[in-house]
Amino acid sequence: MPTHRKPRTRIRTAAPAVGITTAALASVSLLAQSAGATPGRPKPTVEEVQRKVDDLYRQAGTATESYNRAKEATDDQREKVDGLLDEVARGTARLNDTRRALGSYAAEQYRTGGMASTVTLMLADDPQAFFDRNHLMKQLTGREEQALRDFETERAGIAKKRADATRGLERLTASQEALRAGKQDVQTKLAAARTLLGTLTAQEKARLAALEEKKREEARKKAAELAARQEAARKAAEAAEAAKKPPTEPGTGTGTGTGTGTGTPSASTKAAKALAFAREQIGKPYVWGATGPSSYDCSGLTQAAWKAAGVDLPRTTWDQVKAGTRVATAELRPGDLVFFYDDISHVGMYIGNGMMIHAPKPGAYVREESIYYMPIYGSVRPA
C-alpha cells in the first residue's frame, strides 16, 4: 500500500519588524522630533505623547485581535486540509484494492480465452464440470460488474476530495498570509510606541507616570461610585422583596430573606470558578496572541478563565461580545465580560465594585483595575 505523506503546512515565523510603516513612522517622527532638531517645530508635550502612545497601544490591541482571528482560521483550515488528505490516502488504498480485484477478473477472462460455451463444453473433461464452471463464471461476472461500479464511485469520490484539498490548501495559504500580515501589524504599532517613549527624558517619563496614576485614580473614583450605586440597588431590592412577605409570628421565622438576584446556582458557580482562575493569573505578563498558561493577551485570559468553568468562549473580543447576554454597566455581576473602545479591541472580567481583572497591554501584567480606565463599549454575561 503506498504511503501518504502530508504536505508541510508549517507557518514560517515572520521576521521581526525592522522598522515601522510609512504612516506610523511619519506620525511618530512628528512627535519625536525635538525643537532643536527641527527649527520652528515645538517638542510634543508629555500629554500629547501619552495620548499618542495610548492610541498606538489601542491599535496594537486591534491588530492583536486580527492576528488571533487569522491564527484561529489558519489552525482550523490546516486541520480540515489534513483530514481531507487523510481521506484521499484511505480512498486511494481502497481504489488500489478494487483495481487489483478487476485485474484478477481480467486475468480469468484471459485464461478462458473468451471461448464460446459450446467449445468449452467440447473441451471439458465431462459435462458436469462445464456446467459447474459456467455457473461460477456467471457469478464472477456479477461481482466484476459490482467491482467496476465500486471502482468508478471510489475514483469519483477521490477526485472530489483531491479538489477539495486543493481549494483547502489555497485557503490555508491565504490564512497564513493574513497571519503574517497581522503579526507585522502588531509589531509595527508596538515599535512605534517604543520609539515614541524612547524620546522622553527621565523627567518627562516621571511626568508621564504621574499622568497615568492620575488617570487610574479618576477611574478608581468612578468605580467606587458604581459600587455604591450597585449596593444601594441591592438593598432596595432586598427591602422590596421583604415587603412582599407576610409578617411572621415571633420566634417562627426561619429564612434569611437575603436574596440578591445573582442568577441560578449553576451560573453563579461557573462565574465563581472563572473568577478564581482569573485571580490565579494575576502577575503573569501580557503577551499578544498568548492564551496561557504562562502569559495571556486580553481575550486569551477571558477565554481561558471561562474554559476553566466549563464554558467555551470564542477566541477574539469581536466574537466573545456575541457569546452571551448583553447587560448594562449598572447591572454587572462578577464574571461578566466588559468590552472597551468602539472597535471592541479589549476585554476584562468584572469582579465587583466597579473593578475587573484583565491583561492590559505589552509590558504590563495581569492585574485588577477599574473598568473606567478605558472607554466602555458594553458588557456581556457568558451563557
**pLDDT tens by residue, 116-147:** 444 444 445 554 555 555 554 455 456 656 66
Q: Check residue 228 and give its pLDDT.
A: 94
Which residues are catalytic, by number? 298, 346, 358
Does residue 18 carry a pLDDT above 80?
no
Whole-angstrom Cα distance, residue 289 to residue 315? 10
Among 329, 282, 327, 277, residue whose Cα is nearest residue 306? 277
* Range of 159-173, 230-244, 323-337 with top mean pLDDT: 323-337
Q: What is the largest CA-CA distance in the chain?
A: 118
375 within 8 A of 90, measured Cβ to Cβ? no
Residue 378 CB-density burial (10 A; 0-12 exposed, 13-18 middle, 19+ buried): middle
Whole-angstrom Cα distance, residue 133 to residue 14? 70
Phi-psi region of 11 (alpha: psi -120 to 50; beta: other; left: phi over 0): beta
Q: What percent of the chain has pLDDT over 90?
A: 40
Does residue 93 carry a pLDDT above 90?
no
322 within 8 A of 315, measured Cβ to Cβ? no
Confidence band, pLDDT 50/70/90 cuts, at residue 159: confident
- Return the C-alpha cell found at 350: 468584572
Whole-angstrom Cα distance, residue 279 to residue 349? 10
CA triple 95-96-100, angle to 5 deg: 120
Give the CA-trace dihedral at 233, 237, 240, 246, to 10 degrees.
Answer: -150
pTM, to two decimals? 0.67
